[in-house]
Chains A and B, each alone.
Chain A
Amino acid sequence: DTGVSQDPRHKITKRGQNVTFRCDPISEHNRLYWYRQTLGQGPEFLTYFQNEAQLEKSRLLSDRFSAERPKGSFSTLEIQRTEQGDSAMYLCASSVSDRYGYTFGSGTRLTVV
């Protein structure tokens, strides 16, 4: 088990472009979470899945943000029409239960220029 993998590690994009990030959780973990972290702040919850079901998405920052987990394994987070304010670290985490804590990936750092 190699932990939670995120790809790419870094992404530089021009304002207005679409970007997609991928997360591969620990295989036995049925819960998968997306967080955003900006400089000097703690992780901010975006959305989460239990298996393939997206159970909470009201905290996605705008309708430009969407996430999928089509087969209950890997997940993708897409940001459409990126803005400079989207520049941040996007973290993925997985768990078997909230009470056991999360295993985080190393994150994808997005820079919008």
Chain B
Amino acid sequence: AQSVTQLDSQVPVFEEAPVELRCNYSSSVSVYLFWYVQYPNQGLQLLLKYLSGSTLVKGINGFEAEFNKSQTSFHLRKPSVHISDTAEYFCAVSASGGSYIPTFGRGTSLIVHP
């Protein structure tokens, strides 16, 4: 079984500042890792995913994440945030090599102030 911990429930930041949203996972097998974004009253939208290969993955809206196997982390970063990035962000992990359903973290609320 796998689990996900999103270390911060809320991250306030000023517009144009950099941001990092932290995600740690636990699994006894190799994993796939995902970040999703959820805007108010909407479903989740896939931002980026790590399946294998390069540990730095780039996604939509200028976001990127780095897979660190030794730290069991998959932190999400953006060098300069916009007001429109204000949303809930979810990290998810699923076991690779089979039909394993992703487990989602509790989410991090990114609040971008002008």
Contact = CB atoms under 8 A, between A and B. Distances in A.
B24 interface: no
Interface in B2-17: 4, 9
Interface stretch (A11-19, A71-79, A102-110): A102-110
Interface residues of A, number: 25
A43 interface: yes
Contact of B44 (A40, A44, A91, A100): A91
A49 to B, nearest CB: 11
A41 interface: yes
Given A101-B34, A101-B49, A56 B101 contact: yes
A21 interface: no
B96 A106 contact: no
Interface string B95-112: 010011111111100000
Contacts of A98: 32, 94, 99-102
A100 B101 CA distance: 12
Contacts of A104: 36, 43-45
Nearest to B101: A45
Contact of B104 (A43, A48, A56): A43
B41 interface: yes
A105 B106 contact: no
26 contacts: A4-B43, A33-B101, A40-B9, A40-B106, A40-B107, A42-B4, A42-B105, A42-B106, A43-B104, A44-B104, A45-B101, A45-B102, A45-B103, A91-B44, A98-B94, A98-B99, A98-B100, A99-B49, A99-B96, A101-B34, A101-B36, A103-B46, A104-B44, A105-B43, A106-B43, A107-B43
What are the 4 A-B residue pairs with the smallest beta carbon separation, nearest first?
A104-B43, A42-B104, A101-B46, A104-B44
